[in-house]
Copies of this chain bind each other. A is one copy, B any other.
Amino acid sequence: MQIAPEIAAMLAGTGASSDPVAPVLIALVLIAAGAALGGHWMKKLGQPAVLGELLVGMLAANLAYYFREPAITIVREGPTMLNVIHAALEQNLSLAEAAAKLLPAGEHTRQLVEILGSAAAPMAVSVFLFVDQLARVAVIILLFLVGLETSVKEMRRVGVAALAVACIGVVVPFLLGVRFMAVMMPGAPLEKDIFIGAILTATSVGITARVFRDLKQAHRTEAKIILGAAVIDDVLGLMILAVVSGLVVTGTVSVVSISTITLKALVFLAGAIGVGMWVTPRLVRRLARLELENVKLLFGLGFAFLLAWLANAVGLATIVGAFAAGLVLEEFFLDELKGHSLRDLLSPLETLVVPVFFVLMGMQVKLETFADARVVAIAALLTVAAIAGKLVAGLGCSPKLDRLSVGIGMMPRGEVGLIFASIGKGLGVVSDAVFSAVVIMVMVTTLLTPPLLKMALARGDRRAT
């Protein structure tokens, strides 16, 4: 009679015939409605829609957390929750046990463990996993679209400038970070400072790409330079992580393994562009013979997903692969396939899923982190280093361009910084306070970019006219 409670629930009108997708549906409706309203308000204020999505997510999640809403408490954990799920499956623990084991002891963890052990957990976890993956798919679609609006020729034209911006934007924040940490925590071993410097290097280009799209400025040379620099950034980031973790773990740097990593990444990028431009038109000619509905859309997205997967396999970010796919696919390759242009076909999908990514990003801004004065002090220093370093990077491009906008566009940090920080935490070189400070730095650079970039672009336009 094990299932008897389910029948009781059924007789009460919910339960047995309950479709597990129902909570996901209502979550999507709420996210879409919030995104639409937030975007609408911000547009009225002359701001990019993405800022509204971030703010709506932030407000809703912090309010719901205050009332201990299970699904949102779990969604707010973001990557941390994924780590918990990963650990639970690999070590054959329940989620509650894994959370208790993995997260720092405290009131916050106690609440999370309680929720993960409660009857609300199945619904909350399934909503989290679906919405989190959907957001990741969404940002891949966004970067693919951005790539579609850029040609390989244009990227080659901005190549040198992008390289300069990327290199300055990696070196300056790194040096500033090391220096600030040496002042803030004198006596700490140098490798600790070096690790924290490394955390400040990697740009996260999703926000910037979206702001340029919101403002219909994606065709500008500044946008192309930022995108090129972000791709180079990602390769540099791989090398830096290999160097600093080598230093911390073994005290030495393995030249062979670092060369291997770098080579793999470069081969992927060159291969994707070279092979892609050669293979795609031929493949399309064959596909045109099959009678498939919406074949253009299927092929385009399939190609983007495939390159994103490949990029991940060589250690790069999935969005770098998606961007490369867009870069390689020229609209005229697809002329033999029937139907609207790929960009038009993707527009409904973009509207539906891309806001999910930014609302979720907003939901993971934890206001309670700002309650610890010491953390806020470290965060302020890290944020200054992070922002100043990337603003200086803007000087890497020609003075004829809007260098301030390029610098601001490089500002946002994201997952890569958090991944560096969590590895550092595992290695014992990043303390809990510094980790929280990194989280604040990521949140602040994310929230500041849309309004600042909008202001900088308007100012640049005024000067130009």
Report which A residues bind B (CB closer than 8 A). 1-4, 6-7, 10-11, 13-22, 24-26, 28-29, 32-33, 36, 39-40, 43, 82, 85-86, 88-90, 92-97, 116-117, 119, 121-122, 125-126, 129-130, 132-134, 136-137, 140, 237-238, 241-242, 245-246, 249, 254, 257, 260-261, 264, 290-295, 297-298, 301-302, 305-306, 308-309, 312-318, 345-349, 351-352, 416, 419, 422-423, 425-428
Contacts and interface: CB of A to CB of B under 8 A. Distances in A.
B309 A26 contact: yes
Nearest to A254: B11
Contacts of A4: 249, 426-427
B351 A305 contact: no
Given A3-B427, A294-B351, A419-B17, A10 B306 contact: no
A269 to B, nearest CB: 14
Contacts of A426: 1-4, 6
A40 to B, nearest CB: 5
A302 to B, nearest CB: 5
Contacts of A130: 129-130, 133-134
Contacts of A86: 122
Contact of A7 (B238, B346, B352, B423): B423
Nearest to A319: B19
Given A1-B428, A6-B426, A293-B351, 16 more contacts: A3-B426, A4-B427, A10-B245, A13-B260, A14-B315, A17-B315, A18-B312, A19-B136, A29-B305, A32-B298, A33-B302, A89-B116, A130-B130, A293-B347, A294-B352, A345-B348
B7 A249 contact: yes
Number of copies: 2
A43 B352 contact: no
Contacts of A29: 302, 305-306, 309
Contacts of A237: 17
A348 B351 contact: no
B1 A427 contact: yes
Nearest to A3: B426
Contacts of A419: 16-17
A122 B89 contact: yes
A17 B306 CA distance: 17
A414 to B, nearest CB: 12
Contacts of A352: 294, 297-298, 301, 349
A252 to B, nearest CB: 13
Contacts of A347: 293-294
A307 B37 CA distance: 21
A325 to B, nearest CB: 11
Contacts of A422: 3
A30 B237 CA distance: 30
Contacts of A294: 347-348, 351-352
Contacts of A348: 294, 297, 345-346, 348-349
A248 to B, nearest CB: 9
Contacts of A94: 88-89, 92-94
